[in-house]
Chain A
Amino acid sequence: MRIAHYLNQFYAGLGGEEAADLGPRVIDGPAGPGRLLQQLLGEQHRIVATIVCGDDHAATTPGVSAELLGLARAAGAELLVAGPAFGSGRYGLACARLVAAATAAGLPALGSMHPDNPGLAEAGTAPVIAAGATAREMRPSLQRLAAAVAKLATSESLTAADGRIAQVARVGRLVERRAAWRAVDLVLRRLGGDTEATEIPVGGFDAVVPAAPLDKTASAAVALLTEGALVPAGNPDRLESARATRWLRYQIEGIEELATGAWESVDGGFATVAANADPNRMLPLDAARELERDGAIGRLHGEFLVTVGNGTSVATARRFGVEWAAELRKAGVQAAILTAT
């Protein structure tokens, strides 16, 4: 089969974060990890083109999936592979949207990313194969992907056994044991301590009933929070750049704005140049103080809380949310503004 392989700017070797706004383009044949993928695919399948787009462009430009799909078709692709995106959010988003668009347009397509990738859900029912969390797991991720490509090329359906993640279109099949037996079996297993067994895995995100709104903010205590890893210059408390294991707090009592040079973002997920040039772009203290002076809010909480969202698992983020809620409630904070990257 003739295959088009989608990569972001980084894996295609066109640059790092500074090239994240590159528009769609084509490279002949395989590039970057596509070379290993080609090797693993063997003679039967040929990567005829590598379709590339910068992560920022791909994640924020309307119609980009259609444009990328057009490039794949123009290269004569009979199948499209996107990724592996590992844990990269923007890249995962681009891959997921592209495979969804390709599948809907009748071009067999397959994505690859870590199950925790925030972009995964946008693939809808298009197939996505699990990859590792980081590029350190490139080889095993590509091995799994190559095997799945071979199956897809013969129109076989992919299942969890192939590493398929996210939604799977429902395919009816006859099973020997009746549902009643299977349901009782699951209950017995649950009573026996098995909290995982299920026939239908449920997504990792909870549904939350939103908090009641404040009446007005003029007398309220409001906190500023960020997951953009904004820390004092030099990162004295060593906040991680990815996969956070903790969160931190910093005093802003008496400070009217975040001074350039005194703060930095250590987030490993994007170019921090703009945030470092003016830290208020990450944590809007200057504007918040203005609102406080003008009486739009009662008072600004004396600290801001910070962590890094980059690659941080849902479970960890959930825990931080619980801890932040407790902190803020203890301090009498009534509303929060959280900047996220």
Chain B
Amino acid sequence: MERAGIPTALVTNLVTIAEQVGAPRIVPGGGIPYPAGNPALSPQAERAWRRRLLERALVAVTTHVDRPTVFEVDTAEPAGA
């Protein structure tokens, strides 16, 4: 898809594999069975984290990259959560 000009954010927990196969835009996911989830958080906190995950994915597709690049998600709890 990247080759076709569609910047793609890959959300996955297996970051090293993603780097090795050459995925250019990598966003570390919550866990292997739940890339966009984190069952250890409260539903509210998980939902807020998921939003931050997607916001990071949007940063990834609007950032120029030359090689596999990891876009870490801020895992800090929002104030007051």
Interface positions of A (Cβ within 8 A of B): 56, 59-60, 89-90, 93, 118-119, 121-122, 205-217, 222, 225, 228, 270-275, 277-278, 280-284, 286-288, 290-291, 296-297, 321-322, 324-326, 328-329, 333-341
Contact = CB atoms under 8 A, between A and B. Distances in A.
Contacts of B50: 280-281, 284, 286-287
B58 A217 contact: yes
B80 interface: no
Contact of B1 (A93, A222, A321): A321
A323 to B, nearest CB: 10
Interface in B27-42: 29-37, 39
Nearest to A223: B6
Most buried by B among A210, A214, A291, A338: A210
B40 to A, nearest CB: 10
A339 B35 contact: yes
Secondary structure call for the A interface:
mixed
A278 B67 CA distance: 33
Interface of B: 1-14, 16-18, 20-22, 24-25, 29-37, 39, 46-47, 50-51, 53-55, 57-58, 61-67
B37 to A, nearest CB: 3
Contacts of A336: 1, 6-9, 61
Secondary structure call for the B interface:
loop
Contact of B18 (A225, A291, A333, A340): A340
B15 to A, nearest CB: 10
A275 B7 contact: no
Given A119-B17, A335-B61, 12 more contacts: A56-B32, A208-B22, A211-B6, A214-B7, A215-B62, A217-B62, A274-B31, A291-B54, A328-B4, A335-B7, A335-B9, A337-B9
Contacts of B9: 335-338
Contacts of A228: 35
B57 to A, nearest CB: 5
Contacts of A281: 30, 34-37, 39, 46, 50
